[in-house]
Amino acid sequence: MKTLLVRALRLCVPPGKRGCSGGVQKEIRVRFAPSPTGFLHLGGLRTALYNYLFAKKHGGAFILRLEDTDQSRLVPGAADGIEDMLEWAGIPPDESPRQGGPHGPYVQSKRLTLYHEVVQTLLESGAAYRCFCTPQRLELLKKEAFRSRQTPRYDNRCRHLTTNQVQEKLSQSLPFVVRFQLSTGPQAFQDMVYGWTQHDVASVEGDPVILKGDGFPTYHLANVVDDNHMAVTHVLRGEEWLISTTKHLLLYRALGWKPPLYAHLPLLLNKDGSKLSKRQGDIFIQHYEQKGYLADTLLDIITNCGSGFAGNQMGRTLPQLIQQYDLGSTSTHSALLDLDKLPEFNRVHLTRWIDDADTRVQLVSQLQTLLQEKYRDVTFDKEYIERILLLRRGHLCMLTDLLCPNYAYLWIRPSVRMEDLHLLSSEASGIGSLTVRLLQNNHNDMSLEMLNKELRSHLQQLRATKYSTSMKVLRLALSGLETGPSVVEMMLSLGPQESISRLQNALSR
């Protein structure tokens, strides 16, 4: 199956180009279709990302469609939140409720007329029928099924109503839903990930409702109608929908439409195999944004669970993800996500952001804002902040690490008593003055190598103090800390003038 699949994907030709058969290939169009019943979580981001990667890899379009047909479950703010988070993650849709596009509106509650037209077609052809069964009758059916230990299902009673019976009920204004008549017998289709799948849906389910009493379509109908009208070519969605696909294909057949190709993506689970729970709160993308994680980190970690790539590899950027993505190597195993590795993933991407001049500018501004919030009456200039970032590159997991007490010395002067320095060495004053002199003489040419070399040769003149102890004295005087970055790095961060005045201050108290 995999061989077939890979071959099929290789045949995908960018839009507008001619395929082997000489015909013009259709543009690849994929969609992410969440229900705004909650905010975007890691599982949703992964589905959206795989759609985005597939679209971009093949020069196609990535659509965001909001499936809000279950009006009772809508969460205020969720619809905007989902699009905000896709934009934040750097994978904005090409067509969406906010962007618009040629096949809009991209919110299902605004497309009711279209669904009603399709339902009418299905009613006229006999593929669908009105069902007048009362909620009480349906409840009774359920209870009976439970009593006889069977799966509850609708018994398709209204399928057999005559035209006259229907007309009579309509004239009495009895409420009804519309059901789709399922064909019996196994229906096979080829999923691009799971291979040939066969499901005799009619043997386990009653005819499904496609239009509810409130005039809204159900997911099954709306999804098929929209994928068709939005010219979707490939449906990449969560594995939980694999079982519903037969139903969707039967609808396509009844409507005489060509279905898209389906690829169901395995679930994203915690590393111990448990379900990522939305109740944990920490699976929502907003949570990670607020915590200060880079979007690149999230995209990287959710694609490092062994699906869609030849191998796992920490540190991939979005362009690399697009280039390396291969739907054919999606495994059918669940993807296990190890969130404990998140800080390490962020360290790798933060280092890259610091190295790149453009992204570094953004980090400097962000840090400047954070510092202003924390140290209200002090301002720090951009060059100073940039210097700190460059010196600390590779050591920081989060930008906010620099707001921790261990780094407070970078932003405020420590208060250090001379007695504490003398407790470390009786030659503390000598250590201080030798270092001050060294800094005064070399303030125009301060490099890591030079300071390391000169400091060692100057401090070795002292007889009673070991070099490592001298370093402790200097570290304490400069930062008030006993551990931390190297003394030379501290001096380079603070600059010669500030280092000199801290040393002089500490030694004069």
The residues annotated as belonging to the active site are 278
For residue 122, give Cα distances in angstroms to 162, 176, 210, 278. 16, 15, 10, 38
Which strands sit side by side in the sheet containing 177-180, from one edge to the other? 128-131, 177-180, 209-211
Report the residue number, 231 or 370, with the smaller CB distance to ligand GLU. 231
Residue 200 contacts residue 186 (beta carbons within 8 Å)? yes
The residue among 96, 107, 4 whose CA lies nearest residue 55 is: 96
Positions that interact with ligand GLU (CB under 6 A): 33-35, 67, 219, 223, 237, 241
Q: What are phi and psi of 62, to 5 degrees?
A: -115, 120
485 cis-preceded (ω within 30 degrees of 0): no
Residue 431 CB neighbours (<10 A) = 26
Report the residue number, 29 or 316, with the smaller CB distance to ligand GLU. 29
Residue 74 CB, nearest approach to ligand GLU (Å): 12
Residue 197 CB, nearest approach to ligand GLU (Å): 15
Residue 333 CB, nearest approach to ligand GLU (Å): 20
Residue 260 CB, nearest approach to ligand GLU (Å): 10
For residue 356, give Cα distances in angstroms to 133, 208, 352, 390, 400. 65, 55, 6, 10, 19
Q: State how far the Cα of 304 lies from the Cα of 313, in Å rounded to an integer.
A: 7
Q: State how far the Cα of 205 lies from the Cα of 444, in Å rounded to an integer.
A: 81
Report the residue number, 219 or 353, with the smaller CB distance to ligand GLU. 219
Q: What are phi and psi of 55, to 5 degrees?
A: -65, -50
Report the residue number, 240 or 344, with the smaller CB distance to ligand GLU. 240
Cross-strand pairs, 16: none
For residue 471, give Cα distances in angstroms to 364, 424, 428, 430, 489. 30, 10, 10, 13, 12
Report the residue number, 96 or 223, with the smaller CB distance to ligand GLU. 223
The residue among 376, 451, 444, 361 whose CA lies nearest residue 411 is: 376
Instruction: Give the residue closest to ligand GLU by C-beta.
Output: 237
Report the residue number, 49 or 459, with the smaller CB distance to ligand GLU. 49
Residue 498 CB, nearest approach to ligand GLU (Å): 55
Residue 288 CB, nearest approach to ligand GLU (Å): 20
Report the residue number, 35 or 330, with the smaller CB distance to ligand GLU. 35
Give, as one character, the DSSP assignment of residue 96.
Answer: B
Residue 278 contacts residue 41 (beta carbons within 8 Å)? yes
Q: State how far the Cα of 191 lies from the Cα of 197, in Å rounded to an integer.
A: 7
The residue among 209, 222, 219 whose CA lies nearest residue 115 is: 222
Residue 315 CB, nearest approach to ligand GLU (Å): 30
Report the residue number, 115 or 241, with the smaller CB distance to ligand GLU. 241
Residue 120 CB, nearest approach to ligand GLU (Å): 23
Residue 28 CB, nearest approach to ligand GLU (Å): 16
Q: 82 burial class (0-12, 13-18, 19+ CB within 10 angstroms)?
A: buried
Residue 487 CB, nearest approach to ligand GLU (Å): 56
Return the beta strands (E) in 105-225 as ranges.
128-131, 177-180, 187-191, 195-199, 209-211
Report the residue number, 35 or 479, with the smaller CB distance to ligand GLU. 35
Q: State how far the Cα of 214 lies from the Cα of 153, in Å rounded to an integer.
A: 21
Give, as one character, the DSSP assignment of residue 311.
Answer: S
Residue 419 contacts residue 450 (beta carbons within 8 Å)? no
Q: What are phi and psi of 464, to 5 degrees?
A: -90, -5
Q: Which residue has the tokens 């399922």?
A: 182
* Token pair of 381 as six digits: 């200039």
Report the residue number, 94 or 239, with the smaller CB distance to ligand GLU. 239
